[in-house]
A and B are shown apart, each in its own frame.
Chain A
């Protein structure tokens, strides 16, 4: 069965520094998609970045990049130049093959301090 593992319950980073949030996944499918969402205290899940299993380049969206290592089944999120507004929960998710169903990890709480 597909599974997402986020081993860091909480992370601290100083403003303007870069931070990496870990995500590993387990699937026997060859075709799948990986997503990162941000959930601030307001509760809404905000899409950050997407990586397809067949994409050869690592995805980037502004200050967000996804370090995709297919052989290791990892999809770590890198946030460059952290901002105070980046403080939130971050969830890694996987889309099952041929469906739209997202399977989420347990999340990592990021706190950015001045």
Chain B
């Protein structure tokens, strides 16, 4: 079974530029998550999709971050314009169902973003 795919793996941009990340979840997984992991910290949830609808985006900086999940499969996360503090690893995860007691989230390898 293929895991969660993300691209690109690395991205370096200058501040005020825009950037987009792509995620392909495990086939059949209804729920998709985007996390931000700043160096030295644990991941922080940015947004959660159930199929193609947003379940939780309370911690997404909506003035600069946007995300979509067309057709309930692939997802893109965009930052426009980027700031220095956006430098982080962006992790995508998926899970088969929501609110299952022990349903674990499967993570992709992440995209490491450096903003100069």
A interface residues (Cβ-Cβ under 8 A, vs B):
4, 33, 35, 37, 42-47, 50, 52, 91, 93, 98-102, 104-107
Smallest Cβ-Cβ distance to B110: which chain A residue: A43
- Say which residue of B42, B105, B112 sits within 8 Å of A47 (CB atoms): B105
The answer to whether B104 has its CB under 8 Å from any CB of chain A is yes
Smallest Cβ-Cβ distance to A4: which chain B residue: B42
Chain B, range 38-97, C-beta contacts under 8 Å to A: 40-45, 48, 55-56, 89, 91, 93, 95
The answer to whether B24 has its CB under 8 Å from any CB of chain A is no
B42-A100 in contact (CB<8A) = no
In the docked arrangement, what's the CA distance between A35 and B102, Å? Answer: 9
- A21 shortest CB reach to chain B, Å: 13
- In addition to A91-B43, A107-B42, 18 A-B residue pairs with Cβ atoms within 8 Å of each other are A43-B89, A43-B110, A44-B108, A45-B91, A50-B104, A52-B101, A91-B42, A99-B56, A99-B99, A100-B31, A100-B98, A100-B105, A101-B48, A101-B56, A102-B43, A102-B105, A104-B42, A105-B42
Contacts of B103 in A (CB 8 A): 100
In the docked arrangement, what's the CA distance between A91 and B93, Å? Answer: 15
- A75 shortest CB reach to chain B, Å: 14
Contacts of B43 in A (CB 8 A): 45, 91, 102, 104
- Say which residue of A35, A52, A91 sits within 8 Å of B104 (CB atoms): A35
- B38 shortest CB reach to chain A, Å: 10
Q: What's the tally of chain B residues with a CB closer than 8 Å to chain A?
A: 29
A43-B40 in contact (CB<8A) = no
In the docked arrangement, what's the CA distance between A50 and B102, Å? Answer: 6
In the docked arrangement, what's the CA distance between A47 and B106, Å? Answer: 7
Contacts of A50 in B (CB 8 A): 102, 104
Contacts of A104 in B (CB 8 A): 41-44
A100-B99 in contact (CB<8A) = yes
Q: List 24 A-B contacts (CB under 8 A).
A: A4-B42, A42-B109, A43-B89, A43-B91, A43-B109, A44-B3, A44-B108, A44-B109, A47-B104, A50-B102, A50-B104, A52-B102, A91-B43, A98-B99, A99-B99, A100-B31, A100-B95, A101-B48, A101-B56, A102-B45, A102-B105, A104-B41, A104-B42, A107-B41
